[in-house]
Structure 1
Amino acid sequence: MALGASHRLQDGVDAVETMTRFALAVLALASGVYTYLGVRSILDGSPTAVFFAALIYSSAVSVAIYAFWSYMARFYPHVTSASGRGAMLGVMALGCAMIIAMSSWLNAAALAGSAALEQHLAETLEDYTGDLDRAHQNALAAQSLLPDIQRTQERFNRLAEQERATGALTGTTGAGSVVQLLSQMAAQLKELDTGINASRERVTTLFDQGRKHLETMRGLVSSPGPIGPRADQFASEAVALTGVVTSLEQTSIAPSVKRAAEDLSLGFIAPVADGQEAGLADRQDKVMETIRTSVAAQSKVLSAAADEILARAPVGERRFVPLSSAEAVLRYAADFIPSWAGAISIDLLPAVLIFMLAIVHGAIRRQEERLPFAERITAAELLQALEVQKAVTAGGIDLAALAQGPAAPEGAEEDRSTNVTPLDAAPKTPRKSPPA
């Protein structure tokens, strides 16, 4: 039973030997093809030079893979000692690492290079979208001050009209120094209001330009076709968008608002009271001092709000870094695990076949060790033993005598044959009984 199982296993090993060689050749060829595609994506130069360089490299990879796994399939199953198996496993691990280094990552670049480049463009697009939004928000931050400025301007205008019409502040109607001061403050706030509104139009125009660049870049990411031309056009759009973001950063009116707010207080020039009566002049001075205090408070509020806007982190300068397909596959490896698994499996699948052969050969050896010697000997070994017997017999050597042991001297043999008597043939002498 054991002999039959052993023979069947050996017949199976012999039957799949050709298939094993064919499988190794096909896998090595497939790895070489994808390696060729991966190498072409990272080489620069003339088309002819790139073609021959990639072809030579991929051919060397195919030959190396086929030779390595052929050696392992030939020797590993027949190494039985623990130290030998450990050394062979170490060599296999080293060879697998070298195969991954010279082939597998290029196979992954060929399988997922375009998708990895699109992933790079998509993530870069998200970064530029965030930059544009932050620059737009920083540029429009000063717009939040506009309601306070307009409210203060309207209050000064209203007080000026009331003073002119009813003398609400000094008790005397007419356009005196108080009306003049209130109108002056209202005019300064009006100029600041006009500057903020003008900056809004500029910011809106720049933001629309940036959105157009983003739309073009988004279309390049998702559109079909070769990735190389799309990546080049994407890079040009990224440069234009960077200029828009920089312009938005420089368009912010917050610094101007801060300077204008400080000018309200530092540049306050109160006119001389022009009242003809002493009481009126005194009332005008008191009202103008009150206006000065109000303007100083408003200037402090606007300056603090402008400082908060200026304290925002500016949008950093961003540069688009183009990548090759191989570099993109390495950078975004976590997003393309299936492609990496396929690329590595093409190169390392022969290891599974080798382990299967090792298991089968180990089973054959264990089954043969339990057989008698006569059943373990092969026909070739039997013929060789017969040849050895013929050669020894022709030399005058008695194999039967050698098998019985070393021969005794001739005289000693004769003494044994003449003097030694069998126990049954020896004469028997009666034993004397002891005296009574």
Structure 2
Amino acid sequence: MSRSSYAALLRLPSVGRLYLVAFVCRIPAAMVGVVLTLHVVTSLDRGYGQAGVVAGASTIGVAIGAPWRGRLVDRFGLRRAIAPSIVVESAVWVLAPHLGYHALVVAAFVAGLFLVPVFSVARQSLSVLVPVAQQRTAFALDSVLVELTFMLAPVVGVLLATQVSTTAALTVVGCATVGGGLLLMWADPPTRSSGAHAEPAPHDAAPARRQKVMSPELVVLLVAAATASFVLIGTDVSLVASLNDAGRPGDVGWMIALWAGGSVVGGLIHGARTSSPPPLVLAGVLGLAILPAAFAPMPVWLAVAVFVSGLPCAPTLASINATLVRLAPEERRGEVMGWSGTMSTVGNAVGAPLCGWVIDRTNPGAGFLTAGLVGAGVAVAGLAVQRAVRRRRGLTGASGPQEAHALATDAAPGVEKVSSPGR
């Protein structure tokens, strides 16, 4: 694997700073789930089901708020769009450690609704800062850094909650959330190219753009984003259930780290390559890759299966996000990435209970099978829809920018096509 592509990427102006800012700003988002759970269970003396309600309230808030916040970034620019989020998040997290259970549910929803959109903003900015020829590497590295964040931040959250207190841990999450928002405002990474600001579109053109932004290809990719999240959360639930069922709960931590490590390796390889399958094919591979874990004996072969299943994780997510950004008009890119976040949240919300329900009625291996087969099935269906749409367009002679973007998704995301729009 060549390192030259990554070195060239990081030499681009402002790109290294963007990665650093995004990594710091994502830490509280990766930490908050486990900290809220521990706070509800230990400090508020409630059950895990009630802790799940708090997490669910936050998830619903994120799902509702993500497209809205993305639309604000598109319309008003980054600083004006996230300033209200910083104010609201400050108030929520000052109060949250001292609230009772029911008030905490409301606070978690509000915090999710106004969450600073650092994930989508970072990807929007990469599409502006990085030339098309280097965007495969750029988005692969972004996915790798997200994996590292979710490997490290929950550990820090658990240490704070168990070694100090959950109140202190929630306070740290709040301070980090607000501090991250301020850091993002200070950095103010570009979310639109200079040409996008030069001449605003006529007012009467806005309705046409709104009608065209959700093309069939874009909808298919948003469903693929939900499916990828379904596979990942289903794998997570099934892995924990398998190890608990085998009497090895202590292996959960290193097994999940091994799974994330596979994703990091896969992401780095994906970013160093010059071509790869299209995103829906990778989504199908992601589903199929987890199936061997359903039949793997403990613990060595399960560890091997988990590592292998992690290899397509970061490439799939990077590829889906890259293609979504290429499909979306630049003036609507924040909104589209917000919808991507919403669909990923939907995948999590459906995948965890469905795979858990299957596991409760059968065995942990069936959870892996459910996650994998659903993921592969939706990917195949998505490919069929894409093919049907292109065939129809070929018969009718339809053409235009959106169609050109959609046809580009057959090629690997980030393939060095000078004529294709950047992510």
TM-score range, shorter chain: under 0.3
TM-score (norm: length of structure 1): 0.22
Structure with the greater alpha carbon radius of gyration = 1
User: Structure 2 length normalisation: TM-score?
Assistant: 0.23
